[in-house]
Amino acid sequence: MSNLQETIHQMGRQARAAAYKLAQLTSDEKNAILRAMAAAVRKATPELLAANALDLAAGQEKGLSTAMLDRLMLDEIRIEAMAAGIDQVATLPDPVGQVLDAWERPNGIRIEQVRVPIGTIGIIYESRPNVTADAAVLCFKTGNATILRGGSEAIHSNRAIAAALAQAGAPDHAIQLIPFTDRESVAVLAGMDKWLDLIIPRGGKGLIETVVSLARMPVIKHYDGICHLFADKDADQEMAVSLTVNSKTHKCGVCNALETLLVHRDIAAAFLPKVAAALSAKGVELRGCERTRAILADVISATEEDWSTEYLDLILSIKIVDSLEDAVSHINRYGSHHTDVIVTRDAAAAERFLREVDSACVFHNVSTRFADGGEFGFGAEIGISTDKLHARGPMGLRELTSYQYRVRGNGQVKG
């Protein structure tokens, strides 16, 4: 076994031991440690900024895109938001120990279904260093030990954040960061089912598919965010413009950013020039179907590949569709089952869209940017699961628990 493998397996053994200690902490004890973590992050702001500057310089040298550099960047506002997120998690109800159901059998046996920690969780992620804190504190709150493996582009930032969290008094090895960025470390972690109960990959499609192919334990996937907005024939067009611009440009390098705009043919001639002007003012490159280009002559011709591309950049594809049915069909074919929106004043059309689109989050008259654990009231989030089992959509505290059956009796035997 190589030094890398031995180190990661040792981290697994330590995580398993830490998980048993975490399960013994009360909610008050966990919350006190979380508040100490938030304070430690704030205190370490100069160190975090210095570490992040190293990552940004390396990213610029590697030629990372503007959107990727934005995902990587920390400033005082983002560090404070990270700390505030930890404080918020401390205020949230602890799901561990919640009785989901309870009943008594005719023989007097009393049965309870109770939320419990999953145990040990491996999280593999790219780019955004705030994931180090978000993932660690959500797992900690739910009594799960965590092994984190961030991307090479954020290694200095991740180390600095993990070091700050370690100063808060959590049980030893409750939160561990793999010090290696070699690809081999992903394979080792994914094969470590003796020590890990669950693995969660966050990042590009290639990373997720690699983890899925290698994992010997359950995987919760966070695939692409190919999000759609459908401007229905009965849309409030000013609202549709506003929601399109916000969904695309508020932050384009995230998974809940808009990537494809679908427009009902009945409003296309009036709506498209308005939305194109608003998007162009924000520097968005537009790629459209031939019907779109007949209205907007300067739009780039969209290819088949565009409909299934997560740009994570100021690029938007546009397609005119003939009906609600065509919009739903397009989304279910090309989308990533993340977040999709209908803009309409027709309540029946909205309900049909919400019912028929097969995505984790389906919205009516709301920006895609609200597909977020914080906006849902979950505090920080692990990510947006595009799976259907065991978690779907924004993953907060409840999604990081399992359950057990606790059975109480007075000597019953089975005859």
Per-residue pLDDT tens digits for 354-384:
999 999 999 999 999 999 988 998 866 788 8
- The secondary element (H helix, E strand) that includes residue 280 is helix 265-281
| Burial of 167 per CB tally in 10 Å (0-12, 13-18, 19+) | middle
Tell me the fold of 3-220+395-408: Aldehyde Dehydrogenase; Chain A, domain 1 (3.40.605)
CB atoms near residue 26 (< 10 Å): 11
Q: What CATH number has the domain spanning 227-370? A: 3.40.309.10
Tell me the mean pLDDT in the region 139-150.
97
In the structure, what pLDDT confidence band is assigned to residue 126 with cuts at 50, 70 and 90? confident
User: Where in the chain is CATH 3.40.309.10?
Assistant: 227-370
pTM: 0.86
Residue whose tokens read 């969780």? 121
User: Residue 224 above 80 pLDDT?
Assistant: yes
Residue type, 186: V
What pLDDT, on the 0 to 100 scale, is given for residue 217? 96
Residues 6 or more apart in contact with residue 330 via CB below 8 angstroms:
228, 260, 262, 307, 319, 321
Q: Give the pLDDT confidence of 293-305 residue by residue, as tens digits.
A: 999 999 999 999 9
3-state helix vs strand vs coil in the chain, percent to 5: 45, 20, 35
User: Where in the chain is CATH 3.40.605.10?
Assistant: 3-220+395-408
What pLDDT, on the 0 to 100 scale, is given for residue 182? 86
Residues 6 or more apart in contact with residue 17 via CB below 8 angstroms:
173
- Using DSSP's 3-state secondary structure scheme, residue 120 falls into strand
**Phi first, then psi: what are they for 142, rounded to 5°?**
-95, 15
Tell whether the torsion through CA atoms of 269, 242, 315 and 386 is positive or negative.
Answer: negative
Q: Give the pLDDT confidence of 262-275 residue by residue, as tens digits.
A: 999 999 999 999 99
Tell me the mean pLDDT in the region 316-334.
98
Mutual angle of helices 76-91 and 130-141, in 10-degree steps: 10
Task: With beta carbons less than 8 A apart as the criterion, state whether 288 and 301 touch.
Answer: yes
